[in-house]
Amino acid sequence: MSDKIAYARHGDVAVLTVKNPPVNALSQAVRQGLWDGMDRAEADAGVRAVVIVGEGRAFFAGADITEFGKPLVEPNLPALINRIEASPLIVVASMHGVSLGGGLEVALGCHYRIAVPSARVGLPEVHLGLIPGAGGTQRLPRLTGVEAGLDVMTTGRHVGASEAHDLGIIDVLQDGDPAENGLAYAQKLLDESAPRRAVSEMDPPAPVDWDAAFEATLARSKGQISPAWCVRAVQASVEKPFAEGLKAERQIFFDLMQTDQREGMIHAFFSERAVGNLPELKGVAAREFDHIGVIGGGTMGAGIATAALLSGLRVTLLEMSAEAGEAARSRIAANLAGSLKRGKISPAQHDQILGETLSVVTGYDALAGADLVIEAVFEDMDVKKVVFAELDRVCKPGAILASNTSYLDIDAIAATTSRPGDVLGLHFFSPAHVMKLLEVVVGALTAPDVAATGFALGKRLGKVSVRAGVCDGFIGNRILSTYRIAADHMILDGASPYEIDAALEAFGFAMGPFAVADLAGLDIGYAVRKRKRMEGLDPRARDAAYADKLCEDGHFGQKTGKGYYDYAAGSKARVPNPDVMPLIEAERAAQGLKPRAFGSEEIVRRYMAAMVNEAAKVVGEGIARRPLDVDMTLLFGYGFPRYRGGPLKWADMVGLDALLADIKGYAEEDPYFWEPAPLLKDLVATGRTFDDLNKEG
């Protein structure tokens, strides 16, 4: 028998313990071991029941995702589950930790299910671009009904044990050791002569309006298709005999396995975990931190302070005056009230944070004991230099000094201190207590343990941390400014901001670039354009000044009620601002440009080509270490659709040669902007992909 499964006999009950750390994924060896374990129990004279239990953190985290895309090795999971269910013995699943995907499907193939109260179950296959493929869509609705079953599968959410018990997924909740619980429960079932109870033999649930459910799910999923296909599989569970329903589920599962969406989402799953795993930081210990200083209590500073407080860190926030300090405290209190409302903290924690863990001060000396200080003041180098000089004066030796700048030169900031090795960038995204992305900006002199501490802080705050090198805008904002320029060029040439937003939202972005600009504030882009013009624009660069006029008229987007859109009817209404097109038309006329029509396909193609080309430069220059670092930056900070994996994964799937050909074509009109990235040319010439670079590490 496989060493992944331990077999033990306790009276007339056999216990199969799964040992496949870290999360008991159902790899081939586990599947084979379970199959052999069932054979052995059935052949073991006197055994009348079997308990399946996981060792370590979980029952099962599901199918082994690393096997996807490779040839299937028997036994396959649906066959194993059918085999468990068909056993003449009573089979009990004793669950703890998570039972996800194929893991829950194994439990549903058992005749009874017991779980500890902290257990969680779910069918998260939609997050991998799939549907449950081992009977989950056929068995779960027989226990829960269609509506609850579809909710679980189309959201992929983790369902707590108590809710799962109420839904009929778990039979018994019991505190204690899972193996002992399972054994006692199996014994009780035998004592009571409980029948074998196969879910597949239960009546199918009542039908619903399948087409309406399919369409509604598709509309909710913003371009992702797998949630809607859960509906069709569940429909089969109602309309077909069990074995036929299982076949229908399997067909949909395999069809989805062939899609780019599946490939993109699995890339996202592994990249999200790989992004904080930097080879250069292997074995480098982070510095200890417990007390965080935050300088500046505006939206960003208050958000950073909130994130730290919610993670149990002590925070001292510095503001310029008592009045500004009070405003900062109110912002933090409002953020915390939201967390309280959503049940993320208890009323006692809320009161303790505001009463004790947070202190708001007006003098630098109060930061003397801080382990790590994050500056979030006005984006101006002279202001930052003053702040860092003060920090250098008061902070204890070994304290880490971080700047939340979104584009300024970290090396220049570090050079103003006597301890440049302790300085790094920690670039949060607004609202900082909500957005998952953190760029850890490593300067030329940043010490390795300081970089490691940046990642440790990100982990503590629940962020996806990406290593970035120093350049204007780091990874995310540098790429953003390039694809925004591509969008502005399309506007000069004839597209409208509304056509561009619509095309990119149809592509899967949470919001189009102009809606995003309105949300972030048009003053940000205005300031950047002014700075770049002051630094001197290259004479070959095309300039678009129409948006400056919007700002000069006092329209900064949502916060002033008008930007590209008019928000008089609320932020969701998205009514185009009638002043915008005349400004654009005037600029086209001033530049002597004749507008032409742009289809949504061309809009997406140009926008994405600009994004990928700049991203390839960012990787080629070492600003991002790996393509996956860019992918995760765009996914977690810029609303890039997860089901496309990230811009560089998307580029691989579209084909790098086709993309380079597009870029060369665009370069014929504007060779300055569309200069192909050397890395992209190199990958095409050598027949490699961005993902090949990820694998090289």
Catalytically active residues, by annotation: 105, 125
Smaller CB distance to ligand 3H9: residue 252 or 358? 252
Would you count residue 98 as binding ligand 3H9 (CB under 6 A)? yes
Give the one residue of 105, 263, 409, 493 binding ligand 3H9; rule: CB under 6 A.
105
Smaller CB distance to ligand 3H9: residue 401 or 464? 464
Selected range binding ligand 3H9 among 63-71, 222-230, 328-336, 568-576, rule: CB under 6 A: 63-71
Direct distance between the N- and C-terminal alpha carbons of the chain, in angstroms, rounded to an integer: 36
Would you count residue 101 as binding ligand 3H9 (CB under 6 A)? yes
CB of 189 to ligand 3H9, least distance (A): 27
Give the one residue of 273, 531, 533, 664 binding ligand 3H9; rule: CB under 6 A.
273
Smaller CB distance to ligand 3H9: residue 37 or 136? 136
Would you count residue 324 as binding ligand 3H9 (CB under 6 A)? no
Would you count residue 63 as binding ligand 3H9 (CB under 6 A)? yes
CA–CA gap between residue 145 and residue 147 (Å, rounded): 6
Would you count residue 77 as binding ligand 3H9 (CB under 6 A)? yes
Cβ burial of 416 (10 Å; 0-12, 13-18, 19+) is middle
* Antiparallel, parallel or unpaired: β 575-576 and 565-566: antiparallel
Give the one residue of 37, 54, 124, 639 binding ligand 3H9; rule: CB under 6 A.
124
Contact status, residue 108 vs residue 77, Cβ threshold 8 Å: no
CA–CA gap between residue 541 and residue 66 (Å, rounded): 46
3-state helix vs strand vs coil in the chain, percent to 5: 55, 10, 35
Smaller CB distance to ligand 3H9: residue 85 or 125? 125
CB of 223 to ligand 3H9, least distance (A): 20
Position closest to ligand 3H9 via CB: 101
Would you count residue 536 as binding ligand 3H9 (CB under 6 A)? no
CB of 61 to ligand 3H9, least distance (A): 4
Run of H or E residues at 121: strand 120-122
Give the one residue of 33, 37, 54, 62 binding ligand 3H9; rule: CB under 6 A.
62
Beta-carbon contacts of 463 under 8 Å, excluding residues fewer than 6 positions away, are 307, 436, 437, 438
Q: Residue 544: name the closest of 493, 507, 619 by CA.
A: 493
Would you count residue 133 as binding ligand 3H9 (CB under 6 A)? yes
Would you count residue 132 as binding ligand 3H9 (CB under 6 A)? yes
Total residues contacting ligand 3H9 by CB under 6 A comes to: 23
DSSP 345-365: S-HHHHHHIIIIIEEEESSGG
CB of 248 to ligand 3H9, least distance (A): 14
Would you count residue 65 as binding ligand 3H9 (CB under 6 A)? yes
Give the one residue of 3, 22, 594, 596 binding ligand 3H9; rule: CB under 6 A.
22
Would you count residue 102 as binding ligand 3H9 (CB under 6 A)? yes
Region of residue 473 (left: phi > 0; alpha: psi -120 to 50; beta: else): left
| CA angle (679 as vertex; 675, 681 as ends), nearest 5 | 65
- Each residue 409-438 as x (binds ligand 3H9 by CB under 6 A) or -, in order, gives ------------------------------
Smaller CB distance to ligand 3H9: residue 22 or 397? 22
Selected range binding ligand 3H9 among 58-66, 191-199, 472-480, 564-572, rule: CB under 6 A: 58-66
Cβ atoms within 10 A of the Cβ of 424, count?
27
CB of 138 to ligand 3H9, least distance (A): 12
Lookup: tokens for 218: 């598709």
Would you count residue 71 as binding ligand 3H9 (CB under 6 A)? no
CA–CA gap between residue 43 and residue 628 (Å, rounded): 50
CB of 276 to ligand 3H9, least distance (A): 9
Residue 592 Cα to chain centre, angstroms: 44
CB of 615 to ligand 3H9, least distance (A): 24
Contact status, residue 611 vs residue 572, Cβ threshold 8 Å: no
Helices assigned H by DSSP within 241-321: 242-257, 260-274, 299-310
Smaller CB distance to ligand 3H9: residue 62 or 264? 62
CB of 399 to ligand 3H9, least distance (A): 30
Q: Which residue has the tokens 């624009």?
A: 537
Smaller CB distance to ligand 3H9: residue 105 or 409? 105
Would you count residue 66 as binding ligand 3H9 (CB under 6 A)? yes
Would you count residue 64 as binding ligand 3H9 (CB under 6 A)? yes
Give the one residue of 14, 18, 95, 128 binding ligand 3H9; rule: CB under 6 A.
128
CB of 68 to ligand 3H9, least distance (A): 8
CA–CA gap between residue 141 and residue 150 (Å, rounded): 8
Smaller CB distance to ligand 3H9: residue 99 or 453? 99
CA–CA gap between residue 558 and residue 520 (Å, rounded): 8
Smaller CB distance to ligand 3H9: residue 158 or 188? 158
Give the one residue of 5, 23, 95, 161 binding ligand 3H9; rule: CB under 6 A.
23
Smaller CB distance to ligand 3H9: residue 100 or 660? 100
Q: Residue 501: name the closest of 647, 607, 636 by CA.
A: 607
Q: Which residue has the tokens 């920690």?
A: 426
Smaller CB distance to ligand 3H9: residue 16 or 23? 23
CB of 636 to ligand 3H9, least distance (A): 15
Beta-carbon contacts of 387 under 8 Å, excluding residues fewer than 6 positions away, are 295, 375, 377
Helices assigned H by DSSP within 295-408: 299-310, 322-341, 347-352, 381-394
Spell out where 391-544 has E strands.
400-403, 423-428, 437-441, 464-468
Would you count residue 61 as binding ligand 3H9 (CB under 6 A)? yes
Contact status, residue 499 vs residue 581, Cβ threshold 8 Å: no
CB-side neighbour CA atoms (13 Å) of 671: 1
CB of 200 to ligand 3H9, least distance (A): 16
Smaller CB distance to ligand 3H9: residue 226 or 446? 226
Q: Is residue 428 helix, strand or coil?
A: strand
CB of 691 to ligand 3H9, least distance (A): 17
CA–CA gap between residue 90 and residue 197 (Å, rounded): 8
Give the one residue of 16, 25, 91, 161 binding ligand 3H9; rule: CB under 6 A.
25
Lookup: tokens for 212: 């309406």
Residues making contact with ligand 3H9 (CB under 6 A): 22-23, 25, 61-66, 77, 98, 100-102, 105, 124-125, 128, 132-134, 136, 273
